[in-house]
Amino acid sequence: MSQAAESTFGTSAWPADRVVPQAWLELEVAKPEAVGEAVAELRGRGLEVVAEAKVEPWGQTTARLLSPEGLLVGVSHLPSFHETDDAGAATDETTDEAGAARSTLDLDTARRWLEVAVAQAREGEAEGGVPIGAALFWASGELLGSGRNRRVQDDDPSVHGETDAFRRAGRQTSYAGTTMVTTLSPCWYCSGLVRQFGISRVVVGEARTFSGGHEWLAEHGVEVVVLDDPGCVAMMADFVHRHPDVWNEDIGEGADGG
């Protein structure tokens, strides 16, 4: 099994006989300590922990478990999306006690935008490519462009999901206020694109299969929202399991280690 496959779900060992997730369930809890309580209960019901509870720099706490039947269960506490007004819309950006910036984007909007990127990823997968999709939105919610990783289809290693969406958005005089939505944490190449053109926010479907430059972007003033979407996790887990060589090539971990 490749190094990339072994790192899926953040675990250092991925046995060859471990079931690939076939379905997923996301549980959101009200308090960070409730994540550990839920994990303990699920372990008692026979589920295996494939990613221990981890507190991310932006305040999110998430753990993942896998049932013998292939049900992937995520248990998360998402403080970024619980600081809302009575109407459920996100209020002004705030900072928690740890100093992590909280998002001004409401969860429903983030997930709705992610669906566009996921559709692109699935289309790319159907074409025989790497299932990573992206979409670029104005602050108003207008879709500027969407795209997918087409390095296999086009025999072009520069066509990642984010670069494809960016190109399809066409020429813009400014990218201030735009949001790049991607199914997977952006690599350094795509993270550089976000910084170069001043894209204001990045929404990441998941950062467990690959943790690229999203933390670096957050450190440099880009608002980052990681949804830890179980569907995105399962989609990439299945692809890495079936095509480790193509995956290693895509993230720059070829046979020569470059």
Please say if the pLDDT value at position 235 is more than 50: yes
Into which CATH architecture does domain 1-81 fall? Roll (3.10)
Residue 142 has a pLDDT of 96
Residue 56 has a pLDDT of 62
Catalytically annotated residue among 28, 33, 52, 162: 162
Residue 16 has a pLDDT of 57
Please say if the pLDDT value at position 116 is more than 70: yes
Half-sphere exposure of residue 75: CA atoms within 13 angstroms, side-chain side: 27
Domain ranges in the chain are 1-81, 107-251
The structure tokens listed for 135 are: 């979409």
Q: Measured between alpha carbons, how far is 136 from 128 in angstroms, rounded to an integer?
A: 23
Please give the model's pTM, rounded to 2 decimal places: 0.65
Q: Measured between alpha carbons, how far is 119 from 121 in angstroms, rounded to an integer?
A: 5
Cβ neighbors of 143 (< 8 A, separation 6 or more) are 116, 135, 136, 137
Active site residue 206: no
Q: Measured between alpha carbons, how far is 137 from 156 in angstroms, rounded to an integer?
A: 25
First to last CA, the chain: 18
Cα separations in angstroms, 252 against 17, 98, 233: 26, 33, 20
CB 98 within 8 A of CB 125: no
Return the exposure string of 214-229: e unless at least 16 CB atoms fall within 10 Å of the residue's CB, then b: bbbbbeeebbbbbbbb
The DSSP output letter for 258 is -
Sheet holding 48-55, edge to edge: 23-28, 71-77, 61-66, 48-55
Condensed to tens digits (0 to 9), the pLDDT of residues 196-208 reads 999 999 999 998 8
Cβ neighbors of 217 (< 8 A, separation 6 or more) are 186, 191, 194, 195, 202, 224
Task: Assign 146 a pLDDT band (cuts: 50, 70, 90).
Answer: very high
Helix (H, G, I), strand (E, B) or coil at 128: coil
- Name the percent of the chain lying above pLDDT 70: 76
Mean pLDDT, range 131-154, rounded to an integer: 96
For 31, counting Cβ atoms within 10 Å of its Cβ (0-12 exposed, 13-18 middle, 19+ buried), the class is exposed
Helix (H, G, I), strand (E, B) or coil at 93: coil
Task: Assign 90 a pLDDT band (cuts: 50, 70, 90).
Answer: very low
Superfamily of domain 107-251: Cytidine Deaminase, domain 2 (3.40.140.10)
Q: Residue 50: name the closest of 8, 4, 5, 3 by CA.
A: 8
